[in-house]
Amino acid sequence: MTVTPCRTALPAALLLALTGTAAGPAPTAADGASCALRAGVVHDDTLGNHFTGDLYCRNAAGDLYGRPAFDAPVTGRLRTTQSWFVCWSMGEAHKGGNNVWYYTQGDETVNLPSVRAWGNIPASSVLTDTDPFPGLARCPWH
């Protein structure tokens, strides 16, 4: 198994200049909330989907799967514990007691390099109070 770094931390201005996407401001957590929706943050995945907002949330580091199921190929890995998620879908049940999965791009590629670490993580790894998170879009392929 080859693990290749997929994204690095860049200053927001440099990230915008290189990719046409802005990281967007980190949400404030004055109220103790661990998650916040961000509008106007642009992400384009390798399937041709264009997302114009995300959920910025604390999470457990973990594997991302090519579809919302544990028998799917592991496409990437989240190493960070504060990440963004662009949508949610229904999939295999997991230890969180539901079958909601969140879609994001990992910090590193594990398999299928052409996917560039995009994949699904069970909601049990994302520190939300409610799943799916209110206001976050359902993934377009549901």
From first to last of its 142 residues, the chain has per-residue pLDDT tens of: 333 333 333 333 333 333 333 444 444 433 445 899 999 999 999 999 999 999 999 999 999 999 999 999 999 999 999 999 999 999 999 999 999 999 999 999 999 999 999 999 999 999 999 999 999 999 998 6
- Residue 93: both structure tokens together: 């049940």
Contact partners, residue 139, CB within 8 Å, separation at least 6: 86, 87, 88, 89, 103
Q: What is the pTM of this model?
A: 0.78
Write down the pLDDT at residue 73.
97
